Structure 1
Amino acid sequence: MHSLAYAANPPVSTASPTLDLLQVVLALLAILALIIGAAWMAKRFLAVNTHAGTAIKMIGGINVGGRERVLLLEVGEQWVVIGVAPGHISTLTTMPRQTIIPGNNESPKAFSAWLKQKMEKGHA
């Protein structure tokens, strides 16, 4: 008989509706923070190299105009210098694969000097 009286009169919550809403919002924010944290960790620690096994690797590039670029690509044991403009890609030259020394600040200057020499040689 006692259980029947309890079913007819359920316990009344003494918490205010504002406190209940605050708890729900905080729980949702905690879950959202966990999802964002898990996504960040997955991106940082489980990074997959999507370019693994590709035959072409970009070594570097430089803008030479508003929408024009010169790119240095590694294809097998060759480096290919290409010019890229809207609607047009052309091979400028090829050369044997080089060794890049990390932290060497002269590499871009040497490359730009080499490129300038090749461009002048082509126009002469």
Structure 2
Amino acid sequence: MHPAKALIFTLFPGTLAVAAETAPAAPATDLAGSLGQMVFGLVVVIALLVGCLWVIKRLSSPHGSAGLLKVLGATAVGPRERVVLVEAGEKVLVLGVAPGSVRTLHIMDRGELPTGGAANTPGVAGAADFSAWLKKSLDRRHDAS
């Protein structure tokens, strides 16, 4: 036996009996308690996720006049340039969008916008109709100036 242990047992003779009686026992597992704790933690995490999603949805909703703008369509006219139709109230804006600039190409009433079956379906036919309409609209603008 180690001398330090022998000294402790001689100074405190009751510690040997207590040490013998309190041998480490196998830990008792409480399955119901562990399962309850796990389910509670899972519910808390899911509640936090739902709460965060609700906050993100509330913060990302449009405020004020931003809710009145609606992008009707867009087409690429170059590698980084686009023509975009934007509905703002009763007016429809034809915008030219390039890196670093947005220019108004034409302003019209909502009723002037062509409404055809092919224009509403995505695909080549709708893009061709839009291209023809844009060319005609720009020609009218140049003739008026």
TM range (shorter): 0.5 to 0.7
Task: Tell me which moved more, 57-66 or 86-95.
Answer: 57-66
- Greater mean deviation of Cα atoms: 50-59 or 101-110: 101-110
CA 1:28–1:105 in 2, change beyond 3 Å: closer, same or farther?
farther
TM-score normalized with structure 2 length = 0.49
- Greater Rg by CA: 2
8 Å contact from structure 1 (residues 61, 69) kept in 2: no
Give the share of equivalent positions with the same residue, in percent: 30
Shift of 1:25: 3.1
Corresponding position of 2:70: 58
Question: For this pair of structures, how many residues does the alignment match?
Answer: 108
Which 5+ residue runs of structure 2 have no aligned equivalent?
1-26
Q: CA deviation at 1:89?
A: 1.4
Q: Compared with structure 1, are the counterparts of its residues 105 and 51 closer, same or farther at alpha carbon in structure 2 (3 Å cutoff)?
A: farther
Once residues 35 and 102 of structure 1 are traced to their aligned partners in structure 2, the CA distance between those partners, rounded to angstroms, is: 46
TM-score (norm 1): 0.55
Deviations 1:5-37 (A, max 9, x none): xxxxxxxxx742787555433321122123334
Q: Report which structure shows greater RCO (CA 8 Å, sep ≥6).
A: 1
Report the AA paired with residue 111 of structure 1: F
**Residue 116 (str. 1) matches residue 129 (str. 2):** no
Would you tell me which structure has more helix in proportion to its own residues?
A: 2
Q: Which amino acid in the other structure matches residue 72 of structure 2?
A: G
User: Does the alignment pair 1:88 with 2:101?
Assistant: yes
Task: Extract unaligned runs of 5+ from structure 1.
Answer: 1-13
Which shows bigger deviation, 30-39 or 87-96? Answer: 30-39
